[in-house]
Structure 1
């Protein structure tokens, strides 16, 4: 290679060496920041997580109610922790913890509406914590709605099976527990500024 050819190569090499690498993406901050990726596959993962949590909550509630009806209903209460916690089967026509006993049909409609809202939110779900919270709400709502539909005294008027009886407190079931835990988690996420679509609002 001649002197001239070597000289001509140098600018090209220098230009290649001075090409700057793209700057690293800084973490998003401030209002409207996003948590994690927002792709169809990411949304599907969150929906699957929601469905798994809901299925577990629903299955546990359904299994415990079947056992309570078969082995505890009509029998004396079982002391779990002395008089502080007992298993005592009761039929509840009202909402969670025995609230609103005269509004059975109203609470049935509310439970069905909650399920519809959760399904709609799932269409834009990208947050794992929200998937867990909504899964708990969905599983609990389905658990008590199943009682409303299939238990006596009739369709949409059925009484919910409750059996967890702490001292000086209302009797409840695992569906009620899932609903309360999901609600508390939603409050915490809202205070932290995290929305179901992964948007993080920071003031």
Structure 2
């Protein structure tokens, strides 16, 4: 049957944009609030979690803190852009959990790149005492990776092996 080509639905990319933009906005709004509330060494004890202001001039677990800020910005910016391009291109064929996971990873990475661009360091404020101090963007990254991992496991379980013919 001939006819006009079927256009792909825009919903997966819309989901990607909405989740990424929403999470990015939340992270960028919370960071200055945390800096303001926790200024001057103020610590808020919430039991299992403390809110304590620290700054990270490196990347995860302060790795690379001795590297020049422009180099860290360039590398993390390129990685973030790569994640964004991959997420955009794969969204039409991905499941919604995969798309949401990639959106969370992109939003977290982008929020940290933007934060580092402002003053050369990333603002961290969640402190457990037994783990590195982190921020909301790091939480989005971690949750995005977990969601992506769960989606991959679920998709692998539901796929049926294709039969090959000799």
Task: Give me the TM-score of the superposition, normalised by structure 1.
Answer: 0.65
**Corresponding residue pairs, total:** 150
| CA distance, structure 2, for counterparts of residue 132 and residue 89 of structure 1 | 29
Q: Distance in 1 between matches of 2:155 and 2:30?
A: 36
Alignment-derived partner of residue 13 in structure 2? 47
- Say whether 1:119 aligns with 2:88: yes
How far 1:66 sits from its partner (Å)? Answer: 1.2
Task: Check whether the contact 1:161–1:173 (CA below 8 A) recurs between aligned residues.
Answer: yes
Matched, 1:167 2:129: yes
Q: What secondary structure is seen at the aligned counterpart in 1 of 2:66?
A: coil
Query: Hey, which of these two has a bigger chunk of helix by percent?
Result: 2
- Structure-2 separation of matches of 1:99 and 1:39: 45
Distance 1:40 1:108, change over 3 A: closer
Residue in 2 that maps onto 1:32? none
Structure 1 residue 90 displacement after superposition? 1.1
* C-alpha displacement of 1:181: 0.9
Which blocks of at least 5 consecutive residues in structure 2 are unaligned? 1-5, 162-166
8 Å CA contact retained: 2:80, 2:106: no
Unaligned 5+ segments in structure 1 are 1-37, 153-157, 195-199
TM-score, normalization: structure 2? 0.78
**Is this contact kept in 1: 2:98–2:148, CA < 8 A?**
yes
Structure of larger gyration radius:
1
1:125 is displaced (CA, Å) by: 3.5
Q: CA RMSD in A?
A: 2.2
SS of 1:192's equivalent?
helix
**Residue 114 of structure 2: which of 134, 137, 146 is its match?**
146
